[in-house]
A and B are shown apart, each in its own frame.
Chain A
Amino acid sequence: MAQLTKRGLLAAVVCSDSFMKLGKAQAKVFGVPDLPLLEIKHPLGGLNMDQVRERAAVAMPQLLKFINTSKENNSGK
């Protein structure tokens, strides 16, 4: 995702809450400190389909907001 961001593409990472510190640290290490992390509830493993849908429902608005904000920023340039 860091590489995609550096190439100018929109990229974001889905990250469970327990892994947010690692995600933020790694974004910095890879030179994209503002890489959007779409925060969902931990865990990701061992979920049934309803639980997967719940997490998707939490991630999706964050993703749309990121896309829209990026569009606005780009149109202002």
Chain B
Amino acid sequence: MSSITTLLQKPGALIECDDDPEAVFDMLCAKGWSDGFPVIPPTPERVERMLAYCDRDFDDPVIKIPPRFGAATPVRVAANAVMAGCKPEYFPLVLLALETLAEDQYNLYGTQATTHPCTPMLIFNGPVAREVGINSGHNVMGNYFRANATIGRAVRLALVNIGAAIPGTGDMATAGTPAKWSFCVAENEAASPWEPLHVEMGYAKDTTTVTVVAAEGPHNINDHESLTPEGILRMVSGTMATTGSNNAYYAGQPVLAFGPEHAATVAAKGMTKAQVKQWLYDDAVIPLSRFSEETIARRFRRRNAEQYANAPLDTPVHMWQKPDDLIIIVTGGAGKHSQYIPTFGITRAATKPLKRADGELVKSIEELKRG
């Protein structure tokens, strides 16, 4: 295994700066190695401490991040995790998220460089997510929780600093989204009436996984009145069916993040996740006539000619391609709100389990502690 001392001898590995947080922050911003917020200076000692739970070769890339195709070696990622404010025990989850973004179907190249406001939404399931304290309760998509804030932030810093997703050069987002600073949640498995996402995907309940989605920011669904599954779902489908969403045209996989109270109402009479997906697929539709004339002529009739060349104007346009494409999780605290998260167009979600370097599943983060 490469040692930190050896790696730091490589040209350009070290850079000197006054020992002052403001000076470090100024220098990093000047070099474009920042997300605009202050960071923890990534000194060699801190980077070494960050690697305390890393059982990989420090110099072996887990992914080459486009558009620069920079090598995301553990030591480089660790520097970004230090900057983000991660605890060392979060680090394996940062690496796992980056590794999962490398899956072809996610389309990291396209999602990095696009004009669309997408960013990796990290959905964690399983015991290690709870062990390190990823929030799945109140304000799950908001501020305050260190694990959520810094794991997502470390991934974004790596995408910028290693992958060169620099606005206007490598990241061409027209407006972007505040979710680009961090968008990291855990599923509230204890509050879900259904099997959690990773179990639905075939993993054991005690496996820790991350699912990455090329997501927009969350869109709220407020429903304080509905008392039935169909009532809640009608309000959900109305929020989903919007003409400006990529999901009306492409094969992305949007996420419906039920608040636990909405989920309980929907599941009260035994509706399964698959039934919820089918119900919403059928109900979250927009008649073709609701799109602009040009969109109908160019996007639907020409580019999607097989389906829409001669379709009447009352043809329902579904908000995702196949019922099962919708990803459903339960997360958040008390309250009558759920979240809908549309996605980039040419992308599919990807999921990976947390494993040790020898391929064994990790049951506790402490298994990865070195020395």
Interface set of A (CB-CB < 8 Å, partner B):
18-19, 21-22, 25-26, 29, 46
The 8 Å CB contact of A29, one of B68, B168, B172, B294, is B68
**A22 / chain B contacts, CB cutoff of 8 Å:** 67, 113, 169-170, 172
Across the interface, do B169 and A21 meet the contact criterion of CB distance under 8 Å?
A: yes
Digitize B222-258: 1 where CB-to-A-CB distance is under 8 Å, 0 elsewhere: 0000000000000000000000000000000000000
Interface flag for B155 (CB, 8 Å):
no
Digitize B60-73: 1 where CB-to-A-CB distance is under 8 Å, 0 elsewhere: 00000001110000
Listed A/B pairs (19) with beta-carbon separation below 8 Å: A18-B172, A19-B172, A21-B168, A21-B169, A22-B67, A22-B113, A22-B169, A22-B170, A22-B172, A25-B67, A25-B68, A25-B164, A25-B169, A25-B170, A26-B67, A29-B67, A29-B68, A29-B69, A46-B294
Digitize B165-190: 1 where CB-to-A-CB distance is under 8 Å, 0 elsewhere: 00011101000000000000000000
**Interface of A (DSSP majority class):** helix
Residues of B48-62 at the interface with A, using a CB-CB cut-off of 8 Å, are none
Assembled-state Cα–Cα distance A46/B293 (Å): 12
Q: A18-B172, A22-B67, A25-B164 are in contact. List 12 more A-B contacts (CB 8 A).
A: A21-B169, A22-B113, A22-B169, A22-B170, A22-B172, A25-B68, A25-B169, A26-B67, A29-B67, A29-B68, A29-B69, A46-B294
Interface size of B as a range: 10 to 19
Assembled-state Cα–Cα distance A18/B174 (Å): 11
**A46 / chain B contacts, CB cutoff of 8 Å:** 294
Assembled-state Cα–Cα distance A46/B299 (Å): 10
**A19 / chain B contacts, CB cutoff of 8 Å:** 172
Assembled-state Cα–Cα distance A18/B173 (Å): 12
Interface set of B (CB-CB < 8 Å, partner A):
67-69, 113, 164, 168-170, 172, 294
A41 to chain B, nearest CB (A): 16
Assembled-state Cα–Cα distance A21/B170 (Å): 8
**B294 / chain A contacts, CB cutoff of 8 Å:** 46
The 9 closest A-B pairs by CB, nearest first: A21-B169, A29-B69, A29-B68, A25-B169, A26-B67, A22-B169, A22-B172, A22-B170, A22-B113
B244 to chain A, nearest CB (A): 13
B297 to chain A, nearest CB (A): 12
Assembled-state Cα–Cα distance A21/B172 (Å): 10
Q: Which residue of B lies closest to A20 (CB)?
A: B169
Assembled-state Cα–Cα distance A22/B68 (Å): 10
A19 to chain B, nearest CB (A): 7
**A21 / chain B contacts, CB cutoff of 8 Å:** 168-169
A42 to chain B, nearest CB (A): 11
Assembled-state Cα–Cα distance A19/B173 (Å): 11
Assembled-state Cα–Cα distance A29/B165 (Å): 13
Assembled-state Cα–Cα distance A26/B67 (Å): 7
**B169 / chain A contacts, CB cutoff of 8 Å:** 21-22, 25
A24 to chain B, nearest CB (A): 9
**A26 / chain B contacts, CB cutoff of 8 Å:** 67
B342 to chain A, nearest CB (A): 19
Assembled-state Cα–Cα distance A21/B166 (Å): 11
**A29 / chain B contacts, CB cutoff of 8 Å:** 67-69
Assembled-state Cα–Cα distance A47/B53 (Å): 53
**B113 / chain A contacts, CB cutoff of 8 Å:** 22
Assembled-state Cα–Cα distance A25/B172 (Å): 13
**B164 / chain A contacts, CB cutoff of 8 Å:** 25
**B67 / chain A contacts, CB cutoff of 8 Å:** 22, 25-26, 29
Q: Which residue of B lies closest to A26 (CB)?
A: B67
Assembled-state Cα–Cα distance A12/B254 (Å): 36
**B172 / chain A contacts, CB cutoff of 8 Å:** 18-19, 22
